[in-house]
């Protein structure tokens, strides 16, 4: 996704590299080590900021978008489903049995009303 901020972000990153490049007290080897340190620090900062966003936002699969967690609602519904059980007969083929179950499922409802199944309670 290209945005108007791409060039601004690139300029900020290049400034960090230029500070190292223009430092006349550093050898070429030291400059390369600083470049690696900048790259690694960017990865650490990225992971920290990503974690902050994911702690504040939640993803809706149907919308394919993130919304603030506080706008999601928890809903519990009873759901009927078929459950497959395998009964061993001792022969070459196994018999499969299906039974209908009812369980309570937890859903997270996004601001647009999509229900995202969390799991069985």
- Over residues 67-81, the pLDDT tens digits come to 999 999 999 999 998
Domain hosting 39: range is 5-60
Assess contact for 119 and 104: CB atoms under 8 A: no
pTM for the whole structure: 0.56
State how many domains the chain has. 2
- Give the chain's end-to-end CA distance (angstroms, integer): 38
In a domain, 65, yes or no: no
Residue 55 and residue 13 share a domain? yes
Does one domain contain both 31 and 49?
A: yes
Do 54 and 84 share a domain, yes or no? no
Does 90 lie in the same domain as 115?
Answer: yes
Two tokens, residue 79: 């759901």
- Work out the average pLDDT over 86-101: 70
Q: Does 85 score more than 90 pLDDT?
A: no
Please give the structure tokens belonging to residue 71: 């706008």
Q: Does residue 52 sit within a domain?
A: yes
Residue 49 included in any domain = yes
**Residue 109's pLDDT band (cuts 50, 70, 90):** very high
Residue 93 above 80 pLDDT?
Answer: no
Q: Is residue 51 part of a domain?
A: yes
């Amino acid at each position: 996704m290209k945005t108007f901020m791409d060039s601004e972000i690139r300029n900020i990153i290049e400034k960090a590299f230029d500070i190292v490049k223009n430092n006349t007290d550093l050898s070429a080897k030291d400059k390369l080590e600083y470049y690696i340190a900048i790259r690694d620090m960017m990865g650490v900062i990225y992971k920290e900021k990503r974690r902050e966003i994911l702690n504040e936002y939640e993803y809706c699969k149907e919308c394919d978008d993130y919304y603030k967690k506080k706008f999601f609602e928890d809903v519990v519904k009873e759901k009927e489903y078929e459950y497959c059980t395998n009964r061993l007969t001792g022969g070459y083929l196994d018999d499969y049995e299906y039974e209908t179950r009812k369980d309570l499922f937890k859903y997270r409802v996004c601001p647009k009303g999509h229900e995202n199944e969390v799991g069985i309670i």
